[in-house]
Structure 1
Amino acid sequence: MGIIDTVSETLQASTESANRGGGKGDGSKGAYWCHDCAERVRDVDVEGDDPPSCPDCGDEMDFERSPASTGCAC
């Protein structure tokens, strides 16, 4: 059962992250997205309170957050 224990331990360790979905500990609350271009800009990389323009198409980007409780942005 050695391999099963190893796989189980690996899977458990991968779901026990102390900082899930909250950025890299830098105060990030989410990111701005351009869904047409699939571009992403983290909120901590944006100056000011206005949504940035997409670097590819120039359209205004949408803000989306990733809940820290589950780590899932879906």
Structure 2
Amino acid sequence: MGLISTVTDALAGSTETAPGVAGDDGSEGAYWCDDCAVRVRDVDLDDEGLDRDAEGVPVCPDCGESMRFERASGPGCAC
């Protein structure tokens, strides 16, 4: 039974996010430009200094089009 328990333990990975890894910084998603494939995480918007449209949505720094917000689907990064 040693082999079976060893394999079971190896396959039973943790689902918790360890401190200091992506996802524990308050990010809820990222803004995307579908035309240019530019991606900016919501927590990085101020650091990036992106312009915003009349509705407050960030605009792509490459093409100037409004970016689309996409929520993160899990506890990991907003990739």
Asked whether the two chains share a fold, i.e. TM above 0.5, the reply is: yes
Question: Structure 1 58/12 Cα, relative in aligned 2: closer, same or farther at 3 Å?
Answer: farther
Q: What's the counterpart of residue 17 of structure 2?
A: 18
Aligned equivalents of 1:27 and 1:52: distance in 2?
A: 18
Asked if residue 53 in structure 1 is aligned to residue 59 in structure 2, the reply is yes
Asked if residue 67 in structure 1 is aligned to residue 66 in structure 2, the reply is no
Runs (4+) of structure 1 moved beyond 3 Å? none
Q: What's the counterpart of residue 49 of structure 2?
A: none
Number of residue-to-residue matches in the alignment: 64
Q: What's the counterpart of residue 35 of structure 1?
A: 34
Unaligned runs of 5+ in 2: 47-51
Q: Structure 1 residue 68: deviation in Å?
A: 2.4
Letter in 2 for 1:64: E
Aligned equivalents of 1:31 and 1:37: distance in 2?
A: 14
Letter in 2 for 1:43: D
TM-score with structure 2 setting the length = 0.57
TM-score with structure 1 setting the length = 0.60
Larger-gyration structure (1/2): 2
Considering only aligned residues, what root-mean-square deviation do their CA atoms show, in Å? 3.3
